């Protein structure tokens, strides 16, 4: 097997760990809410605090990946979020003891720090894929790196419920944090910033990675010569990159809404017990695990067939977001749990179909600044990690769960409109 595919596989595994770590708290919600006397509004705030740190981590993580190299960021971020995952077990008590008797303040502190540590993940993946993937496989490589998102979300339910069935919620956070630390130790021995530096990458594989055969006129490759400094704010000189970030915001809104609120929605609306959530919580993610890879393949195939990055990238996103919006708008019109979960699964599958597109657009347009501009994109995108859970708490408290699904459809519609204006490639060069 070519060594880069082993690297890609390890990235998938790390992303799975990342998503289980961030989603596990949703399955512990009943125990935490009961223990600390929380309500839906305050619980939504606790879930939303993650996003404040996540935004900052995404921004500076991308810059660090360009400056220090992705290996440094992988190790620092992986260790940090694993430590703060462990710390979540004690967050409420620390808040009550040291932060004015407020358990919410304790959770806020650890959720912000945890989000800060998890934030660099995807911009670092983008920097890694820019270094390790051949231009002809960028779409699929990006989708492979992103497979861990729906796969991790799907596995969160059985892993979290399984752990909670044999231990209390505090021990669950301890176990998950230790698993992340073990991954980091293995990764330190396996990974180098560039394939040129790794002894297990053959000359033939390196030539394939750096090949320019079949390169489109609008595509660019990673510059292996002296690095040209491009300030982060040049991102905002590119309408394509800005609109792409708004499109990605729409994806993240739907994604994080499902990740954080599905367990509570199922318990409140259909009276399911925690023991039932191990399989019900998986259903909205089943299709997404397929479409996240399929989307990368479709995007690369459209690139070959049409010679147009705009059709291959933004065209795919426009259609997918439209179908996502339709599915979520239909959810309030059905009454059975089967129909609701089916529409959530189909809508989420369409939502993940162009997931790789948002990152590939950055590599297509500015490959030498894939980390930094990926970080800026992710910063904008992850406003949704605050807005989605926090706004949902407010909407559920005031108008019920119907408003939650309508808001998701509106977000997808906004993203669809934004992606119409995305024109990937060097014609949008920002410096």
| 419 within a domain of the structure (yes/no) | yes
Average pLDDT of the residues of the chain? 88
Give the C-alpha separation, 92 to 9, whole Å.
36
Give the C-alpha separation, 402 to 391, whole Å.
13
Neighbours of 226 (CB within 10 A): 5
Give the C-alpha separation, 350 to 344, whole Å.
10
**pLDDT given for residue 362 in this prediction:** 87
Angle (deg, nearest 10), helices 3-27 and 70-88: 20
User: What distances in angstroms separate CA 326 from CA 329, 405, 411, 413, one per listed residue?
Assistant: 5, 11, 11, 9
| 217 within a domain of the structure (yes/no) | no
Do residues 146 and 16 make contact, with C-beta atoms less than 8 angstroms apart?
no
CA angle 373, 376, 377 (to 5 degrees): 85
CATH number of domain containing 25: 1.20.1250.20
Instruction: Report pLDDT digits (tens) over 5-61.
Output: 899 999 999 999 998 998 899 899 889 999 999 888 888 889 889 989 988 998 888
Give the C-alpha separation, 5 to 228, whole Å.
29
Give the C-alpha separation, 159 to 155, whole Å.
6
| Closest C-alpha to 252, from 186, 318, 143, 348 | 348
DSSP string, 253-289: HHHHHHHHHHHHHHHHHH---GGGHHHHTTHHHHHHH
Do residues 301 and 429 make contact, with C-beta atoms less than 8 angstroms apart?
no
Instruction: Report pLDDT digits (tens) over 86-110.
Output: 999 999 999 999 988 899 999 999 9
- Identify the domain containing residue 326 by its residue range: 3-196+232-428
| 334 within a domain of the structure (yes/no) | yes
Angle (deg, nearest 10), helices 121-132 and 138-146: 150
Low-confidence residues in the chain, pLDDT < 50: 224-226, 428-431
**pLDDT given for residue 428 in this prediction:** 41
pTM: 0.77
**pLDDT given for residue 227 in this prediction:** 53
**pLDDT given for residue 427 in this prediction:** 54
Report the domain count for the chain.
1
> 251-290: string of b/e by CB count within 10 Å (b at 16+)?
bbbbbbbbbbbbbbbbbeeeebebeebbebbbbbbebbbe
Instruction: Report pLDDT digits (tens) over 359-374.
Output: 889 888 887 777 778 8
Residues in Cβ contact with 226 at an 8 Å cutoff, skipping those fewer than 6 apart: none
Give the C-alpha separation, 163 to 407, whole Å.
33
| 396 within a domain of the structure (yes/no) | yes
Side-chain-side CA neighbours of 123 within 13 Å: the count stands at: 37
Angle (deg, nearest 10), helices 239-270 and 337-352: 160
């Amino acid at each position: 097997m070519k060594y880069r595919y082993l690297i890609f596989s390890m990235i998938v595994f790390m992303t799975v760990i990342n998503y289980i770590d961030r989603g596990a708290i949703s399955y512990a919600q009943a125990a935490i809410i009961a223990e600390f006397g929380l309500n839906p509004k305050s619980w939504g705030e606790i879930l939303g605090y993650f996003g404040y740190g996540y935004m900052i981590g995404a921004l500076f993580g991308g810059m660090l990946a360009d400056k220090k190299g992705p290996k440094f960021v992988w190790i620092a971020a992986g260790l940090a979020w694993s430590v703060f995952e462990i710390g979540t077990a004690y967050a409420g008590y620390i808040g009550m003891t040291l932060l004015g008797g407020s358990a919410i303040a304790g959770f806020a502190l650890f959720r912000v720090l945890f989000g800060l540590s998890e934030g660099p993940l995807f911009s670092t993946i983008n920097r890694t894929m820019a270094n390790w993937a051949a231009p002809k496989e960028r779409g699929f490589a990006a989708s492979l790196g992103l497979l861990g998102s729906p796969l991790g979300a799907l596995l969160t339910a059985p892993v979290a419920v399984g752990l909670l069935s044999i231990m209390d919620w505090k021990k669950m956070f301890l176990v998950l944090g230790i698993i992340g630390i073990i991954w980091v130790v293995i990764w330190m021995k396996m990974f180098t910033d560039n394939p040129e530096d790794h002894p297990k990458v053959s000359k033939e594989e390196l030539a394939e990675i750096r090949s320019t055969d079949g390169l489109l006129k609008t595509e660019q490759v990673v510059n292996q010569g002296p690095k040209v400094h491009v300030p982060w704010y040049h991102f905002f000189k590119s309408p394509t990159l800005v609109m792409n970030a708004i499109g990605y915001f729409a994806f993240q809104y739907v994604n994080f809404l499902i990740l954080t609120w599905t367990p509570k929605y199922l318990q409140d609306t259909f009276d399911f017990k925690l023991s039932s959530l191990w399989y019900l919580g998986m259903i909205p993610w089943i299709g997404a695990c397929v479409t996240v890879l399929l989307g990368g393949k479709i995007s690369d195939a459209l690139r070959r067939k049409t010679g147009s990055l705009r059709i291959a990238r933004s065209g795919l996103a426009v259609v997918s977001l439209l179908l996502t919006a339709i599915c979520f708008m239909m959810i309030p019109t059905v009454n059975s749990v089967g129909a609701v979960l089916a529409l959530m699964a189909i809508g989420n599958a369409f939502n993940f179909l162009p997931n790789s597109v948002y990152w590939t657009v950055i590599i297509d347009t500015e490959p030498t600044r894939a980390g930094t501009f990926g970080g800026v994109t992710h910063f904008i995108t992850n406003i949704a990690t605050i807005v989605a859970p926090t706004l949902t708490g407010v909407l559920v408290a005031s108008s019920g769960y119907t408003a939650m699904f309508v808001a998701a459809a509106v977000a997808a519609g906004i993203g669809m409109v934004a992606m119409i204006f995305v024109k990937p490639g060097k014609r949008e060069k920002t410096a």
